[in-house]
Amino acid sequence: MLEPPEAEIQVTSGLGWPLNVEVDPRIGWPNVPRETLDWPERATARSLHVAETATTTTTTAPPLIELPPGPRRARFDEDEFSSPSAEEDDPPVATATTRSPTTSLPVPAHTRIIVVANQKGGVGKTTTAVNVAAALALGGLTVLVVDLDPQGNATTALGVDHPPGTPGTYEVLMSGAALADHVVDSPEAPNLVALPATIDLAGAEIELVSIVARESRLQRALRAYLRDHHADYVFLDCPPSLGLLTVNALVAANEILVPIQCEYYALEGVTQLMRTIDLVKGELNNELRLSTVMLTMFDGRTKLAAQVAGEVRRHFPAETLASVIPRSVRISEAPSYGQTVLTYQPSSAGAVSYLQAAQEIALRGAEEGA
């Protein structure tokens, strides 16, 4: 084997970076000595020395950089290829302590307990639950949101603090605490209350196994609450699984709202969910029915979204809402401010779509009760 040619390397003083490097044509990479490996540290030290020298000659203070008050704002909502408008850089409107209802929605004949469920994760269950609940509350109705997800994302989106140890859903399920003792008013809308969830709820799946009548713990707590407190709507936000927490919600509810992301994998999750619904109806809750299917994260620029939407409407023609929730950055940004999209950006496409969906749900409830 031929020995590579020896190349004379000159090193820049102070930096240790090689000059006049001859590259071996058979390899194409210079044989750099090890003394050049620490050149970034040397360069930094030298630059600091130069900066200290310059400081002795001038007294100019370095400029102060203000950090933004919140997360950076993305600029693609309705049309991601359009030029950004000037008003998009404005900070979101601060949440007021009280908000007045915007419109008047019809009151249902009886309390509608709706479980928002889909075993597929990332389809918009929590986003749908909190935004539809806030829209109904802004329409003059009384709404309760029960957060059954240990992540507590619904609690966060409704502007309710829930550090570890905050009493809420875990105490109601495991200790038999009264639901009314732990509900918290949400600043998002008047007449909107929430039962917060914390990470403690993650252990409830295992702890419930040994409890008698474990599937109906939430049902009994809700019935006791509704005997003394009025609520037009109760939304149960479930985790992305079909465990005991979701089963408790299915037993306590009388309607199911299924958000379906406009992608193929979401359809597979619905198939398994329908089997679970049939089991619960036959054994634990005969009143349970699939009343609403909502298409979420719809991207009108893709054929796949239109095909999935058409397939869903073909299988659930009466249950699928006419309103479709588009894929919107505003909807994703809102929880980082502890708000729903309805108060974060009321004029965005996502907020308008959720308002229309809530109106459809309310009108359906009124027609069924008539």
For the chain (length 370 residues), average pLDDT per consecutive 10? 58 54 56 47 47 47 36 40 45 44 79 90 91 95 95 92 89 92 93 93 87 90 95 94 89 94 81 83 88 93 91 92 93 91 93 95 84
Tell which CATH classification among 3.30.70.980, 3.40.50.300, 3.90.79.10, 2.30.30.110 matches the domain 109-369: 3.40.50.300
Question: What's the pLDDT at 106?
Answer: 92
Distance (Å) of CA 38 to CA 11, 35, 139, 332, 355 = 12, 7, 65, 43, 60
For the entire predicted model, the pTM comes to 0.73
- CB neighbour list of residue 194: distance below 8 Å, 6 or more residues apart: 144, 145, 146, 147, 154, 155, 158, 160, 183, 184, 186
Question: What's the pLDDT at 34?
Answer: 45
Identity of residue 240: P
Question: What's the pLDDT at 122?
Answer: 85
For residue 366, give the nearest of 193, 194, 141 by alpha carbon.
141
Token digits for 246?
């979701």
Cβ atoms of residues 247 and 218 within 8 Å: no
For residue 115, give the nearest of 140, 101, 97, 133 by alpha carbon.
133
